[in-house]
A and B are shown apart, each in its own frame.
Chain A
């Protein structure tokens, strides 16, 4: 998986195994690889031993290890813009040091443990997505199932362009790609409220929004009414352009006299 992926897991070793695979791909692509976990760094070195000479890689700067609690103050809302600045600086540094980019595997469960942190974190994922789409930065975000409410897991999976299949079953994804906000998958009456909430999160910048519907497989009239309400609202702010609407969208708009 490239870009920005969400990985929901039950056991710690499942995340580590997936992260090892993800980071190995980064080594092959000559990216600087970063592991962020809740374990102390010493423990991380052992977990990542299958990568090869971990000590040598760390000395060379090819691998960086961080303990989550040292990186952020857990459970507190973190200003997404500040975080983005940190990651972009790290990406620039990796490129300046001769790497093709930065590849991060982060076990981020503890960041969203507090209820106040949730909305800020979802916003962060959404904003991070915009930068990842346009910078040599990829991120693999792990969240432990038992520690977080199911609804939050669904939201987290939905704001990533990709998530591990079926866990949880996410009907749609809402993410950034090449400056567009992309809506992929299916939106019906019962996913429409989540869609509504996450779309607001994804398009809150006050800038011109370019919405790509090319990967939307299905939307019913409840979902479309919510989408139309957003595009109308955005049109009066920074502006909103809708691209690649599937035929079902055009048909419903015509039938219900809705404008996107």
Chain B
């Protein structure tokens, strides 16, 4: 069963629902083989088990295939648009491209699923006006909830990006450590995050990454979000979470998702946060902006 957008656009974004392994292969193998036969580059981002299934059915050494580690890169779906774009640009011959991307696999958290769903809609916005390519997104209908499947049916053809930064994030479910910050307090922001990360048991690398991400986001608050902000840090369910709030308003729903260009200043802070953190959630409106960074105590 395939849900495809009706309108003629260069980018075709299709949800593909499968109930079991047989259906998975029945949908993906012909999709990949058709690409290879047509001389297209095929970008494959599947969870390891699904990738293993597919590789047994196709020639995994075909030079037309490019694999991407979706469980690592796509752990934070905020990284995927720039990843796909770089893979597309990497096709020097300018030949046709198709992709297979399964971002919502069973076991993802509510927050991750929410971000994946926003990501699916943002794909249409990011690639809708660009060169033609097809992205097929497999959904494990046997394991995922009806809500996820229903949302996926709608999100793939949807071009409107309205409301993609709307909504409130759930309140903290744990003891919070917080501070208000301004220009002179970034050092204390870093110290607070570093201390909580140490207490939670993050290793040095994950601590440094989270400290850098939090500092970049807090810097945005000072520079673009009214000159000051509030930081809350707490531990929840195996993760350390940093919430940065300010009074600014973000209007570009793709903020932080496209690699910043060298010649254009700005826009780097959230992109860096996306590359470093396990999950980044951005909500913004007239009442202000909230950026939530998640870092697992151990690498998932």
Contact = CB atoms under 8 A, between A and B. Distances in A.
Contacts of B186: 188-190
B205 interface: yes
Interface string B179-219: 00001101100100000000000000100110110011001
Nearest to A186: B187
B219 A220 contact: yes
B187 A220 contact: no
Interface stretch (B11-19, B20-28, B61-69, B268-276): B268-276
A251 to B, nearest CB: 7
B272 A218 contact: no
B216 A221 contact: yes
A148 B292 CA distance: 43
A171 B276 CA distance: 24
B269 A221 contact: yes
B216 A171 contact: no
Interface stretch (A62-70, A71-79, A252-260): A252-260
B262 interface: yes
Contacts of B55: none
Given A171-B187, A221-B272, A255-B275, A189 B223 contact: yes
A256 B271 CA distance: 10
Contacts, number: 47
Given A255-B272, A257-B262, A247 B215 contact: no
Contacts of B187: 171, 186, 188
Nearest to B190: A218
A252 B275 CA distance: 10
A255 B272 CA distance: 7
B219 A252 contact: no
A220 B262 CA distance: 16
Given A188-B186, A255-B275, A247 B208 contact: yes
Contact of A189 (B208, B219, B262, B272): B219
Nearest to A185: B187
A252 B272 contact: yes
A220 B215 contact: yes
Nearest to B189: A188
B237 to A, nearest CB: 26
A220 B223 contact: no
Interface string B222-242: 110000000000000000000
A188 B211 CA distance: 12
Contacts of B184: 190
A89 to B, nearest CB: 42
Interface string A230-260: 0000000000000000011001100111000
8 contacts: A188-B187, A218-B215, A220-B215, A221-B269, A247-B208, A251-B276, A252-B212, A255-B275
Closest 5 CB pairs of A and B: A189-B219, A188-B186, A255-B275, A221-B268, A190-B183
Given A190-B219, A221-B269, 8 more contacts: A171-B187, A218-B212, A220-B216, A221-B216, A221-B272, A222-B219, A251-B208, A257-B262
